[in-house]
Structure 1
């Protein structure tokens, strides 16, 4: 966490500053696309985004990557302990002082920006599902999981980003964007998820194309594709594109200084989907990625957009030129 970001956000307590630094490190290490996009936000808003991502990543590590190959029971106990500490931290708000740094930062962010605590509890409910649910028979089943694992992330972000309309109008688009990103991840990581014993592709789609775990495993083990698998993945990709279309109008409902950040994330994640399609859906044995040159070009475009917004704001509304430590308005902001 840079001193500039922490100072801009008005975070002065040394322990809290260290907690936010842990979250920023998690974002930088594990969320390349998110981290790149976050750097296009005004400095005062970045720590809150790092806190939200850091918490989500911390919980995900318990579910997926806890060292020592723990048993299901050990994972469940670790997740239950985190959930208990989360509830305590949220009750304490900005004065949270537990043993988990990411929770201190999260509680502070939730308090400063007025984020609904139910969104964090819904997230934890989906993390619990990952302990014993290994497949999803229908889209309805998958969307129940994605509400907590993805849609709520978009909803948590809205108070930090700010909107130019009543927040309720932007919420469906924010939730859709979280879902679109996760569906993209499911397509990109289908092979890795299979290694963890999970399939996040709807069973109804797989059945329609006569695809089962055995065929997915064969593709994973041999590095070869299969027509039926490609067609199933193509159908999920088409559905994912429709979710991106639902999400897109929401970008223009955000505070103008936040739009370049979200547009950059939207473009880069859409780029992952394009790479999956260009690879002929051969994702079971390798992980596709947006080339560095393309990522740089998208980031530069986002920076140009942000510069234009700042210039307009400086000229038209001088008193709004600096993004300070004040919380983002809950409703409307001047463009």
Structure 2
């Protein structure tokens, strides 16, 4: 795992331009598929999304990075205090400068950011989830919140089918669909990373569902791929695809300049599920990823969907 660069202290903070560039580099390094989608946005929107992603990445690194063993509940308390400082207009580290600037340009709520930190607290104390309901809460906190953070930046616009007398009424944000996309992405991450998580002693598949398919924790830690595992994975992939389908319904409500990148990111991320299938569900020995040439093939399809759906 790559290590994030050292950030300056508050006495020598970067300029907003330099801070946005740092956030761009973080996004390009750690989220290649996502980054490709952001390049299709307007400059102001993509820079704001980079600022949010960089904050989310640094938050995740607290419990899933090279120094995660040093993270305590008090560490996360301090991180939340730093978040409050950013929202108060007092950034403390270089990437914070970009997020503070974004807050001046877009109306963002602090609550989804707080919820994400709550998700990291779950990672500190939980390495198993008994039911999907428990896992759903975790997925919302660590990923569904990203949709809520991003929605004010993406923006919405009235449908052309809206009655003329309602055209000036502000369009409602597709909140449920935004959360669904985050859930779908996180479920995809979980399925792709089963082997890596097992190496860290973690299981994110609901234990009740392992039992439903007569597949044990010991089987998982041994990387057993048999018909029980394949049936379990088919079930999990089917659920993730349902969340992607739910998310699709909200894309058409976004501002026109946000639809193409969101369609691109959605379609490309969903492709990971197809790759898992083509790898015969062996996520223990083969990492599922979408190659760059395949990504480029989907961009015109995403553009077409953005125009007509």
TM-score bracket for the superposition, by shorter chain length: 0.7 to 0.9
Q: How far is 1:108 from its partner?
A: 2.5
Check if 1:189 corresponds to 2:193.
yes
Check if 1:150 corresponds to 2:149.
no
**2:154: which partner in 1?**
161
Change (3 A) 1:167 1:91: farther
**2:161: which partner in 1?**
none
**2:202: which partner in 1?**
198
Report if the CA contact (8 A) 1:40-1:302 is conserved.
no
Check if 1:47 corresponds to 2:44.
no
> Where do 1:214-293 residues align within 5 Å?
214-219=218-223, 225-293=225-293
Counterparts of 1:168 and 1:126 in 2: how far apart (Å)?
27
Report if the CA contact (8 A) 2:267-2:302 is conserved.
no
Q: How far is 1:240 from its partner?
A: 0.8
Q: How far is 1:63 from its partner?
A: 0.9
Counterparts of 1:186 and 1:167 in 2: how far apart (Å)?
33
Gaps of 5+ in 1: 1-12, 310-335
Report if the CA contact (8 A) 1:205-1:235 is conserved.
no
Change (3 A) 1:84 1:187: same
Give deviations 1:12-65, integer Å, cap 9, x for gaps: x96222221221111000001110000011112111000111001011111111
Counterparts of 2:215 and 2:194 in 1: how far apart (Å)?
13
Deviates more, 1:31-40 or 1:165-174: 165-174
Gaps of 5+ in 2: 1-12, 159-169
Q: How far is 1:305 from its partner?
A: 7.4
Report if the CA contact (8 A) 1:151-1:174 is conserved.
yes
**2:75: which partner in 1?**
78
> 122, 128, 131: which is aligned to 2:124?
131
Report if the CA contact (8 A) 1:16-1:105 is conserved.
yes
* Secondary structure, counterpart of 2:290 in structure 1: coil
Give deviations 1:196-234, integer Å, cap 9, x for gaps: 222111122111012222101111xxxx52221221111
Give deviations 1:262-305, integer Å, cap 9, x for gaps: 00001101111111112221112221111222111123544677
Give deviations 1:235-254, integer Å, cap 9, x for gaps: 11111111111111111011
Report if the CA contact (8 A) 1:19-1:102 is conserved.
yes
Change (3 A) 1:42 1:78: same
TM-score by length of 1: 0.80
How many positions carry a matched residue from both structures? 285
Report if the CA contact (8 A) 2:279-2:286 is conserved.
no
Q: How far is 1:75 from its partner?
A: 4.3
Counterparts of 1:305 and 1:32 in 2: how far apart (Å)?
22
Check if 1:21 corresponds to 2:21.
yes
Counterparts of 1:235 and 1:149 in 2: how far apart (Å)?
22
Counterparts of 2:15 and 2:171 in 1: how far apart (Å)?
32
Change (3 A) 1:81 1:201: same
Give deviations 1:146-198, integer Å, cap 9, x for gaps: 12111110111111111124554511111101111111111111111112222
Check if 1:97 corresponds to 2:94.
no
Counterparts of 1:282 and 1:171 in 2: how far apart (Å)?
34
Counterparts of 2:105 and 2:65 in 1: how far apart (Å)?
31
**2:31: which partner in 1?**
31
**1:172: which partner in 2?**
176
